[in-house]
Amino acid sequence: MKNQIILLIHGAGSVGNEWENFEKAFSKMGNKVLKPTLRFHKRDFKSNPKLGNISILDYVSDMEKLIKNLNKKPIIIGHSMGGLIALILCSRGHGKLGIFLTPAAPSGINAISLSVIRIFIMNIFRWKFWCKPVLPNFASAYFGVLHDFERDYALKVFKKNFSAESGRALCEIGFPFFFSNSPTKVDESGIKCPTLIIGAGRDRITPVAISKKLKSKLKDKAELIIFPLFSHYIMEGLEFNLVFKSILKWVNKKIGQDI
């Protein structure tokens, strides 16, 4: 695999730096790698007040502008909320291939579970949480995303990647029925490129049931790989190594190149 453009879209409450291992691996093979940080995201416990009311579709629009300036279609890879953004982009015909890692749920697939409620419970009871920035919180990140790491290492990963997130965007994912025309609605008929879904069996924030239901929604437009012993954060260590190997094998099969 070489000479590809690869667009990496990070998840909620994070920045483009979470893709560091993927970027190094893809670049070493001779690919152009883009790992933008989404609008108003930054490594800080403070936030831009404008972030709170940013929609998923604002993120999608920003990525569309980036893609339109490229000289060929990229392979779009998204993690968590970024997986949902990648899915929407593919449904609009933008991707050469689409890969959704532990993706957030589109409208029509329930995104709420007991573990998700525990992660976000303090924010859910904030007045007008749906239009305010959600500030980074290590305790929530450790329980929901980084729970398979030793606490000290999890804190190191958190400090490297954390950001505030849009309350509106999170509400659009968790409560799509609040919106008459849900921003997270996906028309799968628009997907013309091969896609891959990767789910994790110990995922607490985007439970593996979401990946399975997304596969059912996309039918033969998607393939599904599940890592039953992995949790949500598959960007480091053994998780990264095995997930990257699976992605590379799948991509090479689809573009007809040898590994």
pLDDT one-digit tens code per residue, 227-243: 999 999 999 999 999 99
Q: Residue 149 above 90 pLDDT?
A: yes
Cβ proximity of 218 and 188 under 8 Å: yes
Q: What is the reported pLDDT for 115?
A: 73
pLDDT one-digit tens code per residue, 164-200: 999 999 999 998 888 888 999 999 999 999 999 999 9
Give Cβ neighbours of residue 111 (< 8 Å, ≥ 6 apart).
104, 105, 173, 174, 206, 210
Q: What is the reported pLDDT for 178?
A: 84
DSSP assignment string, 38-95? PTT--SSSS--GGGGG--HHHHHHHHHHHHHTSSSPPEEEEETHHHHHHHHHHHTT--
Average per-residue pLDDT in the chain?
Answer: 92
pLDDT band at 38 (very low <50, low <70, confident <90, very high): very high
In angstroms, rounded to a whole number, what is the distance separating the alpha carbons of residues 174 and 106? 9
- Name 76's bridge partners: 7, 98
Average pLDDT over residues 200-212: 95
Q: Which CATH class is domain 5-254?
A: alpha beta
- Model pTM score: 0.94
Q: What is the reported pLDDT for 116?
A: 73
pLDDT one-digit tens code per residue, 107-132: 999 877 777 776 666 666 565 777 88
